[in-house]
């Protein structure tokens, strides 16, 4: 299905995307000498985008904590003692006030996250009102609410939802060691419903969870061989939250993180690659390398969903130092 691109996605046409990436090819990219990998990533980036433009989204946790899933990385799972309190769904006016503040601060997209396995019908009606209200403010809308049925995806589309975030998180092989309460197939099924409803797909994963490079290869190969590439590919560095099973995970070499961004850029040339969670603990030099590797989108604002993110002024100063501009 052809989907009209919202303004922030419009760009000159460059490399034709391939959907038949093999693991061997993706592994070979990861194994390139760093200068070669960066050159290929930058060439692909410039064929498809203005390399100085960065799309900015703001996150809001509209329903925090108490989640029945057991994702080993997540501070919002009810299975772990992380100090995150379970809260009710936020009221509409508070969500709209946060969206207006995000718009005034320069964000073009507002992403609403809920700690649900999947939304209940009554909750979805409330979220649809939020989506319609946020869109009426002139923002692109994104939501991440867990698994959806085909009918729920259509309902969100009708309310004006532009993007749905649903991550594959890691390789199919490693997935079972991170989450036991739902399967990779469940995730792929929801992604299919989102795509079929005509909503843009935001789908990526997390690195630094103790996975091997082969798992990172498997994750990117899976994303890059989806029937249509996700329009947005968030690459998260694990935020190690005390109380979660992954609190003590060994830190990932930042250069390996940059390589993951570069391989995502090369294999999904027309997607927005988002340098997502983990920037709070990342040096500005590593973030700069991520932009050079083809990342062209970030979350701005002092909080992700429950964990800290660099403040807006900090990010504005970094973008200024690097000569990057927000994509309107
Ligand atoms: N409950 C919904 C779901 O899982 O699809 C939506 C919210 S969930 C918090 C959204 C995404 O945040 C997860 O898929 C995961 O990739 C990311 N995430 C959660 N905790 C994280 C952490 N500690 N570090 C990095 N990314 C994280
Ligand atoms: C995504 O891939 N990363 C964002 C967004 N999609 C929803 C969430 C990151 C959450 C980090 C942990 C927290 O703040 O709770
Ligand atoms: Fe729940 Fe989403 Fe956290 Fe998993 S990642 S525990 S589904 S909020």
Of the residues 166, 233, 234, 238, which should be mutated to test ligand 2's pocket, given the most ligand atoms within 8 Å of the CB?
234
pTM of the model: 0.94
Percent pLDDT > 70 in the chain is 95
> What's the pLDDT tens digit per position in 292-327?
999 999 999 999 999 999 999 999 999 999 999 998
As a whole number of angstroms, the distance between CA 284 and CA 292 comes to 12
Distance from the alpha carbon of residue 318 to the mean position of ligand 2, in angstroms: 21
pLDDT at position 1 is 33
As a whole number of angstroms, the distance between CA 83 and CA 254 comes to 28
Asked if 175 and 153 count as a contact pair (C-beta separation under 8 A), the reply is no
Distance from the alpha carbon of residue 277 to the mean position of ligand 2, in angstroms: 6
Find the mean pLDDT for residues 110-127. 97
Find the mean pLDDT for residues 81-95. 97
Predicted confidence band at 2 (pLDDT cuts at 50, 70, 90)?
very low
Distance from the alpha carbon of residue 122 to the mean position of ligand 3, in angstroms: 20
Alpha-carbon dihedral angle through residues 10, 11, 17, 23, given to the nearest 10 degrees:
-90
pLDDT at position 58 is 97
Residues 6+ apart with CB under 8 A from 122: none
**Does residue 11 surpass a pLDDT of 70?**
no
Residue nearest to atom 2 of ligand 3 (CA): 115
Residues 6+ apart with CB under 8 A from 30: 37, 213, 216, 217, 259, 260, 263
- Is residue 203 among the annotated active site residues? no
> What's the pLDDT tens digit per position in 181-228?
999 999 999 999 999 999 999 999 999 999 999 999 999 999 999 999
Predicted confidence band at 15 (pLDDT cuts at 50, 70, 90)?
low
Backbone phi, psi, residue 179, to 5°:
-140, 130
Pairing of strands 232-237, 297-299: unpaired
Q: Which residue in the list 109, 111, 128, 195 is annotated as catalytic?
A: 111
Other CB atoms closer than 10 Å to residue 167's CB: what's the count?
A: 22
Ligand number nearest CA of 145 is: 1
**Does residue 9 surpass a pLDDT of 80?**
no
Other CB atoms closer than 10 Å to residue 278's CB: what's the count?
A: 24
> What's the pLDDT tens digit per position in 254-272?
999 999 999 999 999 999 9
> What's the pLDDT tens digit per position in 232-245?
999 999 999 999 99
Distance from the alpha carbon of residue 33 to the mean position of ligand 1, in angstroms: 31
> What's the pLDDT tens digit per position in 59-73?
999 999 999 999 999
> What's the pLDDT tens digit per position in 46-63?
999 999 999 999 999 999
Residue 276: both structure tokens together: 């997502």
Strand ranges for the chain from DSSP E: 53-63, 109-114, 140-144, 163-165, 200-202, 205-207, 232-237, 272-275, 297-299, 325-326
Percent pLDDT > 90 in the chain is 93
> What's the pLDDT tens digit per position in 163-184?
999 999 999 999 999 999 999 9
Closest ligand 2 atom number to CA of residue 165: 6
- Is residue 85 among the annotated active site residues? no
Asked if 240 and 246 count as a contact pair (C-beta separation under 8 A), the reply is yes
pLDDT at position 17 is 87
pLDDT at position 16 is 77
Strand ranges for 252-304 from DSSP E: 272-275, 297-299
CA 6 to chain centre: 18
- What is the per-residue burial (b if ≥16 Cβ within 10 Å, else e) of 240-269? bbeebbbeebeebebeebbbbbbbbbbbbb
**Does residue 12 surpass a pLDDT of 70?**
no
Closest ligand 1 atom number to CA of residue 205: 16
Asked if 157 and 138 count as a contact pair (C-beta separation under 8 A), the reply is no
Q: Is 72 in the pocket of ligand 3 (CB under 6 A)?
A: no
Residue from 277, 54, 82, 86 nearest 167 by CA: 277
As a whole number of angstroms, the distance between CA 98 and CA 59 comes to 10
- Is residue 202 among the annotated active site residues? yes
């Amino acid at each position: 299905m052809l989907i009209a691109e919202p303004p922030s996605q419009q760009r000159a046409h460059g490399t034709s995307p391939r959907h038949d990436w093999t693991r061997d090819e993706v592994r070979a990219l990861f194994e390139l000498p760093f200068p070669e990998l960066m050159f290929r990533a930058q060439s692909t980036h410039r064929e498809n985008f203005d390399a100085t433009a960065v799309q900015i989204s703001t996150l809001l946790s509209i329903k925090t904590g108490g989640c029945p899933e057991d994702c080993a990385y997540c501070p919002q799972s009810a299975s772990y003692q992380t100090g995150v309190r379970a809260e009710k769904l936020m009221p509409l006016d508070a969500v709209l006030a946060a969206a207006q503040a995000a718009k005034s601060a320069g964000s073009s997209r507002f992403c609403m996250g809920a700690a649900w396995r999947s939304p209940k019908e009554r909750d979805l009606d409330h979220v649809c009102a939020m989506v319609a209200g946020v869109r009426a403010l002139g923002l692109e809308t994104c939501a991440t609410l867990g698994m959806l049925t085909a009918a729920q995806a259509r309902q969100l589309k009708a309310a004006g939802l532009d993007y749905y975030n649903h991550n594959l998180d890691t390789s199919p092989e490693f997935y079972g060691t991170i989450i036991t309460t739902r399967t990779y197939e469940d995730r792929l099924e929801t992604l299919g419903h989102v795509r079929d409803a005509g909503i843009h797909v935001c789908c990526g994963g997390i690195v630094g969870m103790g996975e091997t490079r082969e798992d990172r290869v498997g994750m990117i190969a899976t994303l890059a061989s989806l029937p249509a590439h996700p329009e947005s590919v968030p690459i998260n560095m694990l935020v190690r939250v005390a109380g979660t099973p992954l609190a003590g995970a060994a830190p990932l070499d930042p250069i390996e993180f940059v390589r993951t961004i570069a391989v995502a850029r090369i294999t999904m040339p027309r997607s927005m690659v988002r340098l997502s969670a983990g920037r709070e603990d990342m040096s500005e030099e590593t973030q700069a390398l991520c932009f050079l590797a083809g990342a062209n989108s970030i979350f701005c604002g002092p909080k992700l969903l429950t964990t800290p993110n660099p403040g807006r002024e900090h990010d504005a100063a970094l973008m200024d130092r690097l000569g990057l501009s927000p994509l309107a």
